[in-house]
């Protein structure tokens, strides 16, 4: 598992987050998801997004403008966490974790 995969998102933007996992070989048959949690909302899961797999180790997670617009902007530090995981026979195996900083202005 890779920790501290910290990203910056601008509110209201469509964004594709491309992740290359190290030490992991993906197959097209896996279902990979990314979970975005809001720390200020009792760690409530805000969004679960299915990733597009590009074997052997690259994923693309797509967030639309409505999703990013609904995320709370960061003031004094990241307010959101995210994780990428796969579900295997009822258990979740995390591939990476990190924080999300949400900026409330347009991307420069």
Q: What is the pLDDT of residues 31-75, one digit of tens each?
A: 889 999 988 777 678 889 999 999 999 999 999 999 999 888 887
Question: Can you give the pTM of this predicted structure?
Answer: 0.83
Does a structural domain hold residue 1?
A: no
Query: What does residue 39 show for φ and ψ, rounded to 5 degrees?
Result: -60, -35
Residue range of the domain that includes 69: 7-103
Does a structural domain hold residue 64?
A: yes
Distance from C-alpha of 53 to C-alpha of 58, rounded to nearest angstrom: 6
Band of the pLDDT at 1, cuts 50, 70, 90? low
Residue percentage of the chain with pLDDT more than 90? 38
CATH number of domain containing 51: 2.60.40.10
Does a structural domain hold residue 90?
A: yes
**Which residue in the block uniquely carries the two structure tokens 């709370």?**
72
Q: Which two tokens stand for residue 6?
A: 């910290």
Does a structural domain hold residue 2?
A: no
For the chain, the domain total comes to 1
Does a structural domain hold residue 27?
A: yes
């Amino acid at each position: 598992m890779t920790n501290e995969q910290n990203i910056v998102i601008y509110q209201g933007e469509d964004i594709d987050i491309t992740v290359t996992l190290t030490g992991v070989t993906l197959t097209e048959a896996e279902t990979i998801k990314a979970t975005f949690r809001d720390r200020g909302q009792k760690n409530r899961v805000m969004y679960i997004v299915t990733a597009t797999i590009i074997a052997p180790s690259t994923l693309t997670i797509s967030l639309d403008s409505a999703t990013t617009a609904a995320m709370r902007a960061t003031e004094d530090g990241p307010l959101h966490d995210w994780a990428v995981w796969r579900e295997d026979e009822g258990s979740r195996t995390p591939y990476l974790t990190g924080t999300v900083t949400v900026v409330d202005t347009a991307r420069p």
